Amino acid sequence: MIESVLGKGAMGVVYLARDPVIGRRVALKTLVVPEDAEEAEEFRQRFLREAQAAGLLNHPGIVTVFDAGVDDGTGLSFIAMEYIEGRSLREFLRTGQGFAYSEVARIAAALAAALDYAHTKGVVHRDIKPANVLFTPQGMVKITDFGVARLESSNLTATGQFIGTPNYMSPEQVAGGVVDGRSDLFSLGVVLFELLTGQRPFPGHTLTEVAYKIVHEPPRIPSQVRPGLPPAFNPIVLKLLEKDPDRRYSRGSDVARALEALRRVLAGVTGDVAQFTPPARQPAAAEPGAVGAAPTATRATSVIPTAPVPGPSEGEQEARGSVWRLPIEWRWVAVLLAAVIVPPALLMAMLAGRVDRGPFGGPATGEPARRHRLADAQRRAAEAVAEQRPAEALTLLGPVLEEAPYSTLARILLERAMDQQANQRDAAGRDRQAAALREEGKEFLKAGRWREAQSRFQQVLDMIPDDPVTKDFLDLAKEHQRVPRVQPSRPPVATAIPVQARVVPVGAALPLQARLEPVGGWRLELYFNCPLSVGRLTIDLDGQPLAEKPFDFRVKGLLFIKKKGSGIIEDAFKVKAGDHSLVVRLRDSGGSLLGEQALQAGLEGGGRYVLKIEMDGEQSVPRFSLTAVRGR
């Protein structure tokens, strides 16, 4: 039985009717068929699809469909659905009536839970907007108008069709792609943004401009659009409005849990918008064109298991004019008096750890400086490795690997530095062993044990092939072995001459040894592998100058600039046999004395004697030695 007209739209008329059998009041939605036959069939199928989609659903947050069919007498298609005695969300937004932030969270959580139920049944609404959200007198919300819903088992709406309300459509819906439940969650994000700020996230003057922004431009941040808005809403809204469906919430139940947790925190807190008031009953005639937004009436329960929020009393409405007269809940007064600020601080810390902040979280304080410090340490470590300074590199890489243990570059540099350090340890051990063998060979050389000396020097060269000092000693040992042995009739002669050496202070007088009458001549050979570039070598025999050898091994370089060099000083002198005193002095280019040594020995005729000077480097102290090479 028809009682009144609730609304008219492009697709049909909605009547307020009463079931004559059980007396139940229902909203009766009829279909106005276009004149074009093909378009009429499409309208009829979409109309029946709404009945089929809604008929699958039985949820407190979704308008219930009781019956659907075609009147035999008139051929008119109809749907009999639950009558909600209330107003749509669009009417609230148009009149400027606001909601408390906790109430906004409750409304959005209820819508998310209802959508989650529909999605589990294989139904995608595809047209979530304020006009399709109705309020009951108890303050509960219900979703209506499944006229463009898509069933997973239906192929009626093909890919590429533009279905829905443009301002609330998802990017994939605007592009005409395949949509699923995450498309409804995007539309829910637009509705939530509008509830919080009073504006849409993608404003525009034309449909083309709005569609472009939905697909290509990021949404505005709610707390920046409306100052004073709790920032905890930002990550939830921004995740719902992600362009990529894979980055949104996967299910409506996840959204409902996040919003319910936020509602508990915000309960009792009123922003600069008014507390929600249950709508008063409206006249029978609704706003023209509000098809699907028609009020209905039935008992409904909250989707989230919490008690309904009652409307404020008249006293509370009057107190809302001053912030100092806001209603106070005594349980919060008791908590604040007991623990002051600690419990709220702990609660906010727990919430901060659980709420998803989305992709807009910036780097932590000091993070750029930390990364710059690590990058600089890695750069200096790479330079140290390139310059063969592994100890310094390892010192620099220690803090880097503590803060960034998975850094590929730091691990590569660590490997190279450890290899270099191991090689340097091996080289140091080899140098120590070579030095010991060299000293042992020199002792054998002084004792006249040429073969043993040659063996030791050869072992040193096997370890350090480019050692010039060892090469000189090896040549000297080989030269000794080439000298013929003495005849058996002659008494054995010691191969090393006893030498007494001492360092003489600069300018001190040297005592002269008494000379023996010469019984023959002997040959004194000088050998000095000199690492110095410029200097002077002098030799005095028994207080008289025997030789003065200035030397300059510098070489001409670019633009005739002389560069450092080194060379070998060799000479030979004939000296009468007898006891003699030799004084050898070595000076640098400035005339400063680098080393001086007096050598006293009894020299017999018929032999050769080598005066050898050794220096390991420019900064080392020269060493002087006198060795006999006896002949027949």
DSSP string covering 385-414:
HHTT-HHHHHHHHHHHHHH-TT-HHHHHHH
SS3 content of the chain, % helix, strand, coil (to 5): 40, 20, 40
Long-range contacts of 562-570 (CB under 8 A, 24+ apart): 564/533, 565/533, 566/529, 566/530, 566/531, 566/532, 566/533, 567/530, 568/527, 568/528, 568/529, 568/530, 569/526, 569/527, 569/528, 569/530, 569/537, 570/525, 570/526, 570/527, 570/528
Long-range contacts of 349-358 (CB under 8 A, 24+ apart): 351/232, 351/261, 351/262, 351/265, 354/261, 355/232, 355/235, 355/236, 355/258, 355/261, 355/262, 356/235, 356/236, 356/239, 356/258, 357/234, 357/235, 358/234, 358/235, 358/238, 358/239, 358/242
End-to-end, the C-alpha distance of the chain in Å comes to: 150
What distance in Å separates the CA atoms of residue 477 and residue 489, rounded to the nearest whole number? 25
pLDDT above 90: residue 214: yes
Give me the mean pLDDT over the 204-226 stretch. Answer: 92
Contact 559, 465 (CB under 8 A): no
What distance in Å separates the CA atoms of residue 86 and residue 297, rounded to the nearest whole number? 7
Which pLDDT score is estimated for 40? 67
What distance in Å separates the CA atoms of residue 605 and residue 580, rounded to the nearest whole number? 12
**3-class SS at 599?**
strand
Contact 515, 579 (CB under 8 A): yes
Residue 107: both structure tokens together: 């409304």
Q: Across all residues in the chain, what is the average pLDDT?
A: 77
Choose between 198 and 67: higher pLDDT. 198
A 10 A CB-CB count for 404 gives: 18
Q: CA 187, 293, 48, 40: dihedral to nearest 10 degrees?
A: -100
What distance in Å separates the CA atoms of residue 110 and residue 63, rounded to the nearest whole number? 13
What distance in Å separates the CA atoms of residue 332 and residue 422, rounded to the nearest whole number? 68
pLDDT-derived band at 496, boundaries 50, 70, 90 = very low
The distance from CA 447 to its chain's CA centroid, rounded to whole angstroms, is 69
Contact 392, 398 (CB under 8 A): no
Provide CATH code, domain 89-281.
1.10.510.10
Q: Is 116 a catalytic residue?
A: no
What distance in Å separates the CA atoms of residue 563 and residue 557, rounded to the nearest whole number? 6
pLDDT above 70: residue 459: yes
What distance in Å separates the CA atoms of residue 51 and residue 624, rounded to the nearest whole number? 115
The residues that bridge with 597 in the sheet, in sequence order, are 503, 584
Choose between 176 and 361: higher pLDDT. 176
Contact 398, 411 (CB under 8 A): no
Which pLDDT score is estimated for 172? 92
Q: Taken in order 571, 576, 577, 583, is the CA torsion positive or negative? A: negative
What distance in Å separates the CA atoms of residue 419 and residue 255, rounded to the nearest whole number? 55
A 10 A CB-CB count for 121 gives: 15
One CATH from 3.30.70, 2.60.40, 1.10.3470, 3.40.50 for 500-630: 2.60.40
Which pLDDT score is estimated for 189? 95
Which pLDDT score is estimated for 45? 74
Of 20-34, 38-52, 333-347, 434-448, the poorest mean pLDDT is in 38-52
Share of the chain above pLDDT 90, in %: 28
A 10 A CB-CB count for 430 gives: 13
What is the homologous superfamily of the domain 2-82 according to CATH? Answer: Phosphorylase Kinase; domain 1 (3.30.200.20)
Which pLDDT score is estimated for 113? 95
Contact 495, 581 (CB under 8 A): no
Phi, psi at 45, each rounded to 5°: -65, -40
Out of 67, 71, 127, 571, the active site residue is: 127
**Model pLDDT for residues 571-609, shown as the tens digit of each residue:** 888 888 888 888 999 999 888 999 999 988 776 666 788
Which pLDDT score is estimated for 188? 95
* pTM beyond 0.75: no
Choose between 511 and 246: higher pLDDT. 246
**3-class SS at 31?**
coil
Q: Among 298, 227, 241, 276, which residue's Cα sits nearest to residue 106? A: 276
Give me the mean pLDDT over the 372-398 stretch. Answer: 90
Identical fold for domains 89-281 and 500-630, yes or no, is no
Q: Which residue has the tokens 């243990």?
A: 405
**3-class SS at 590?**
coil
Which pLDDT score is estimated for 212? 92
Give me the mean pLDDT over the 468-484 stretch. Answer: 79
- Secondary structure, 3-state, 97-144: CCCCHHHHHHHHHHHHHHHHHHHHCCEECCCCCHHHEEECCCCCEEEC
List the domain boundaries for the chain.
2-82, 89-281, 367-429, 433-482, 500-630
Contact 567, 551 (CB under 8 A): yes
**Model pLDDT for residues 291-350, shown as the tens digit of each residue:** 333 333 322 222 223 333 344 444 444 434 444 555 666 777 777 777 777 777 888 888
Which pLDDT score is estimated for 251? 94
The residues that bridge with 536 in the sheet, in sequence order, are 550, 587
Q: Which residue has the tokens 């009652």?
A: 310
